Amino acid sequence: MFSRYKRMAGVLYLVADAMLAMASFALADWVRSAVITPRALYPVRAYFWIIPLAILLWVGVGLITGAYREIQEEKLFRAFWDPLKVAFFGTALLFAFIFAFKFEFISRLLLGFYALIDFFAMVALRLVARGLGNALRRTFGGYREFLVAGSGPQVEEIARAIEANEERGMRIFAFARTGPVPEDLQESHGLRHAYPVYSLDRLPELVRKHVIDEVIFVVSKDEMEKTEEAFLVCEEEGVKTRVLLNFFPQLVSKVYLDRLEEMPLLTFTTTPENEYLLLWKRVFDFVMAFVLMVILSPFFLLLGLVIKLTSKGPVLYRQVRCGLGGRKFTLYKFRSMLVGADLQRDKLRVLNEVDGPVFKIRNDPRCTPVGRLMRKFSLDELPQLANILKGDMSFVGPRPPLPEEVEKYAGWQRRRMRMQPGLTCLWALEGRSKLNFQRWMELDLEYIDNWSPALDLKILLKTIPVVLLGRGAS
């Protein structure tokens, strides 16, 4: 199935889950009143404000965990796994909210019924959609007939993908070749059915005499010029056309069509491009950084006083780092070394314990006693909450490198700077300072290629015990 149809299905599931959440709350109240407590202490109208909160939490958890991203109905386990994630985390957040604000009058029993009913309702919706979805799509959308034009093994791959979605209303009409084709030729190798094969020159005749909804071109760069007339015919007839981009040399780039004013631009990118999820990431960073700075401000003052009393020099250490796209910014840390430590780097380079352009020493002689303790538990990184507030950094992302380190990067390593730098990332879970440089770069790129809000949350939760136990720090 085409990805945009999967995204559309995700939106429909999101709306349906929101409606189920409202219905589940009403049913939960009826169950509680009819079965458990006929006369509740508080009427149901006292709970009305919880309904939009619960819907917001459920939908938010679903978006973060990817429950509504490219629905795959053919995978039965997702009919249970996606609702389970939404119900579990949504309920946990709802109870956390109630306990945090001490809403003692709210019935925990009612909320428990609500979560349980909503979970089974979401599972039932997905099972019904899985069983009846294909029939409904055919009923409302009918079959769409495809003509696949081109040659090579990828034509067969495209054909198999269409056949796999035949129950969803996708069907192959025929194949077309750019060169001459014998009369009455049929093609079936590797496919369920045999299909007629025509010359691409006959496309005008085919679209006029037969039902062809879409034409997929699978052609090389050299053959593109030969398809120009076929493109114009499809445009004139209103037939949707698609082109397999197999002649571009991209390896990991994601490809999508964008517009600058009215000018269409085929866009390649190797970094996340979902503006909505990236906006969510930025909002989360800003709110969380602001809250933590307010909560930890007394500790900041105490730690600053200890630094000032135990060694000469400023409390904060400022250093120029490279951020998103190589933009330079000032990074803040609590000073953990003696004043002038940077000037001693060349003398200590023989003690460097990390390969590549990075400089690390496990027992750095430049550290103050307090600084060594701070570095073990990453307390010196806390002022970077200000960098997160300013937008220079994120909570999760590749660590911001020094400009002189970037100058020594190989070409493929520079891609790590195309994501907002962060306090922690995948490397923090695999040993922090114990990693070699090559593995460090690979983990950063793995993070970029697989980024999602759920991955950020997973990294943050796993980083907490690593930091508290001081594992892998230097």
Pick the CATH number of 143-247 from 3.30.70.20, 3.20.20.70, 3.40.50.800, 3.40.50.720: 3.40.50.720
Q: 289 pLDDT band (50/70/90 cuts)?
A: very high
- What pTM was computed for the model? 0.64
Average pLDDT of the chain?
A: 82
If we measure between CA atoms, which residue out of 126, 146, 115 comes closest to residue 50?
A: 115
Tens of pLDDT, residue by residue over 370-379, are: 988 888 888 9
* pLDDT score, position 470: 66
* pLDDT score, position 168: 74
Give how far Cα 11 sits from Cα of 8, 35, 67, 195, Å.
Answer: 5, 35, 10, 35
Better-scored residue on pLDDT, 28 or 186: 28
Q: Percent of the chain scored above 70 by pLDDT?
A: 85
Q: 179 pLDDT band (50/70/90 cuts)?
A: confident
* pLDDT score, position 136: 62
Tens of pLDDT, residue by residue over 421-458, are: 999 988 877 765 567 888 888 999 999 988 988 899 88
Q: Are 60 and 453 in contact (CB under 8 A)?
A: no
* pLDDT score, position 291: 93
pLDDT-wise least confident of 238-242, 354-358, 379-383, 393-397: 354-358
Q: Percent of the chain scored above 90 by pLDDT?
A: 20
Question: Would you list the domain boundaries of the chain?
Answer: 3-140, 143-247, 275-468
* pLDDT score, position 301: 94
